Structure 1
Amino acid sequence: MTNPFVMLAGYNAWANRRLYAAAGALDDADYRADRGAFFGSLHGTLSHLLVTDRIWMRRFTGDGPLHLTLDEQPYSALAALAEARFAEDARILAFAEGLDATRLAGLFTYRTVTNPRDITQPLAPALFHLFNHQTHHRGQAHAVLTAIGGRDAAPSLDLLAYQRETGIGMS
């Protein structure tokens, strides 16, 4: 596998579609209820993931919406949040598909959101963080779904399930 970020971007989109489908099966009160997750509700957690992905993609590309806080909720309706999420997933995949070894090894500088300061690092480790961060908070969202509706309410989000379903990363 030459560029693992293409697989991770595809997995990210696949997992998000499954997660949003499960969220869409909830009633609005359950979807918005504070469940003690780091960002409170399922809506807060999904919003955080979109906002942080947009922050990172703006850092990587210089383009995209500007978000100034990590707890911003730019969309009140799940349908609008899902539409924005799926568009961002497509943007992440297109970005990953355009990367080469030189770009991945190259340095870039960005400004942090909390405790603002400039950081310079190679692109590849920052991309690994992007995908790891998504997995971390999707796990929280999965726990919220499980708490609301039991194991059947939360879909499998395993990378291996994605690989087996798509064949990506299996040879």
Structure 2
Amino acid sequence: MNRTEHLGLMARYNQWMNAKLYNAAMSLPEAQIVLDRQAFFGSILGTLNHLLAGDTIWLKRFAQHPTQHPALAPLQQVALPQDLKTLLFPNLDGLWQQRQWLDQLILDFSQSLSDADLDSSLHYTNTRGVVAERNVYALLVHFFNHQTHHRGQASTLLTQAGVDIGDTDLLLLIPSAL
């Protein structure tokens, strides 16, 4: 599996896992979704909002790359989150609609990448105002790793609320070599 295929796999995993998380969360009453569980982002809703905010911020950065990937053009209509803790959507329904749209955009973007894109650098300003430059492939690996990290937190919060989201292993999506 080459790098672009790997990123496509990670985009499919992101989409699959988000659907599992949201389906599990939607089985709970709203009071359980917004309950402050003393997690880093407070509630299940807060954690899912953080994931959406982080993904949006990174994708808007990737959209500023000189290659101007057409798959990211729809992001021009999306406001840049002010920080990583703001509730972008006060309820799960609105958040889920945006999540589905963004996950398809991530999949389309990942499928449009070339090796030349991955070998290039991205200049960006982080949320603290610090200017940085990093390799695009390394940033995309970080992007997908960040998602996995916080989905793990959301999965734990759902488990504590009595909801089992089922299998979460990436292995289930890796094609067989046979």
TM score, norm. by length of structure 1: 0.91
Matched with 1:126 is 139
1:67 aligns with 2:69: no
The runs of at least 4 aligned residues of structure 1 exceeding 3 Å deviation read: none
Cα-Cα RMSD:
1.2
Of residues 149, 157, 160, the one that matches 2:168 is 157
Number of the residue aligned with 1:22: 24
The alignment covers a number of residue pairs equal to: 163
Q: By how many angstroms is 1:74 displaced?
A: 1.3
Q: Which runs of 5+ in 1 are unaligned?
A: none
* SS at structure 1 position matched to 2:134: strand
- SS of residue in 1 equivalent to 2:122: strand
Which of 5, 8, 12 aligns to 1:6? It is 8
1:111 alignment partner in structure 2 = 125
The residue number in structure 1 matching 2:69 is none
Deviates further, 71-80 or 11-20:
71-80
Please say if 1:147 is aligned against 2:160. yes
> Where does residue 36 of structure 1 map in the other structure?
38
- Residue 170 of structure 1 corresponds to 176
TM-score, normalised relative to structure 2: 0.88
Provide the secondary structure at the position in 2 that maps to 1:153. coil
- Which runs of structure 2 are paired with 1:96-107 in the superposition (5 Å)? 96-107=110-121
| 1:78 is the counterpart of 2:92 | yes
Q: Distance in 2 between matches of 1:57 and 1:153?
A: 30
Q: In the alignment, what sits opposite 2:56?
A: 54
Between 1 and 2, higher relative CO (CA 8 Å, sep ≥ 6) is seen in: 2
For the residues of structure 2 that align with 1:154 and 1:15, how far apart are their CA atoms?
A: 9
Which amino acid in structure 1 is aligned with residue 129 of structure 2?
Answer: P
Encode CA deviations 1:17-60: one digit per residue, 9 max, x unaligned: 01000000001111100111110000000000001000000000
**Cα offset for 1:139?**
0.4
Q: Which amino acid aligns with 1:158?
A: D
